[in-house]
Structure 1
Amino acid sequence: MPKKKSKKIPLYKKIKFSTYIIGLILFIFLYFTYRYRHGIHYYYKIVEKTVKGEKLTDDKVTKYDIRNIEVMDNYYLKTFGVDVSHYQGKIDWSKMHTIYKLYPIQFAFIRSTMGTSAIDERFEENWNGIKETEILRGAYHFYRPDENSTLQAQNFIRKVHLEKGDLPPVVDIEHIPRTQSMEKLIEGVKNWCKIVEQHYDVKPIIYTSDKYYEDYLQKHFDGHLIWIANYNFWTEKMKGHWNFWQFTEKASIEGVKRYKVDVNIYNGTVDDLENLTL
């Protein structure tokens, strides 16, 4: 009798399930090693310098620094800057030259006022300190939704004396009102912008989060420059309406010893940014 042919077992059935898992892990490892290669290279450069007793930054390098470097590397033709408040403590502006010793700091926004009467305790110090550098400076007001918008605008105007070469004023709106509707809030922010524009003869910049802007503000502030905060680790590209992108709040920068620093990309060249100044 003829022998029965044995069925061939498909190759994929011969491979153990654990082999697939190992292969998947290896693929993920290689993908992220390549994807974040610049940041990883920077990380090991810092480790090497630390072993040799040198120190390049004030804090340990983290995964955020690796991601930050990749974002900046993607936008190396754009313009980079920071924003600070009293949370950063005393800043040595004479050392505020670069971010990770890779990209120059071209602009900085400094918190000046909050609500109807509050003033950032380090505003004067920072405002005068940055004047001694070549960094373009600007001031921002933290808008409190449940406080009078006219008094908030007057608080900002009293404290901030913009000069030729300074960036436009900024209103920072982040919170939902507790005692009024969103419609009233938008009216208030518009009123703040109107008063401030009349005083400085320039439209203020609107700062907010990506979701806040899309949910509440995007239909109401045509003609204003938009500055968006989005720290999502997986967000790698700016949206079309983002004039400024605050892509991290966890950067280590020489000259700042206390807390991490917000870093921003302006979607244009330094010349473009200078054209926005007063």
Structure 2
Amino acid sequence: MRYAIYFTPPSGDPLSKVAANWLGRNPFSGEAVKTPVIRSFETEEIARLTVEPRRYGFHATLKAPFRLDEKFTERDLLSALMHFASSAGPVTIPRLQVAALGHFFALVPDEPLPELDQLANDVVVAFDRFRAPASDAEKARRRPETLSISQLRNLEQWGYPHAFEDFRFHMTLTGRVEEKDRLRVARILDEFFEPVLNEPVDIANLALFIETRPGAPFEVHSLHPLAMPSLTGSGTGAGRKKSA
């Protein structure tokens, strides 16, 4: 079993609904969602593009998937997560945009947010004691030969290469997209997500996701509200409209 600490909007949030429709799975219920019909885009192509992010569910990584150290139980992890959330404040992303990150596409903030980067840094450090050391096979899956020096250092120390100065908040929408297809895929993603991109997104919870067995889909175990008032003055009251 592996655990991960992610951000994902509540299940009823419009962004969650649109993302589940695109990815083809609801990580809260674990149920498949019918693949959308998009003109000039084959259903099979959408299914192929989303096969990897579908397994992980719509999310932004804060603490990458890890096996629990044998010194701890799931109850210990949950207790620490609730305590951390009660002492951390929400962050509001004014607007998301579709962006290409290397060979894949994701939703990212359209402006730098140092307070969001700091929240991610704090999560990485606070929960590392629960992480069992990465095995050689787990490290190999990160393709260390492709990583920078700082990413290799992060992989060794924190079990994940994209932390601290190498962190970028993103919510993955596709797997690898061939260069010849990227302009077309970008255009379709912009159109598909356009109805929800102009609404602010409140990072107002931490989500515990669980992979029950190797290769199984990740599912939401629980959401933990960030309870401390925002120091930036942009708390949950400024966020997106919730559906009825």
Specify if TM > 0.5. Answer: no
The normalised TM-score by structure 2 is 0.25
Greater relative CO, 1 or 2 (CA 8 Å, sep 6+): 2
User: Which structure: larger Rg?
Assistant: 1
The normalised TM-score by structure 1 is 0.23
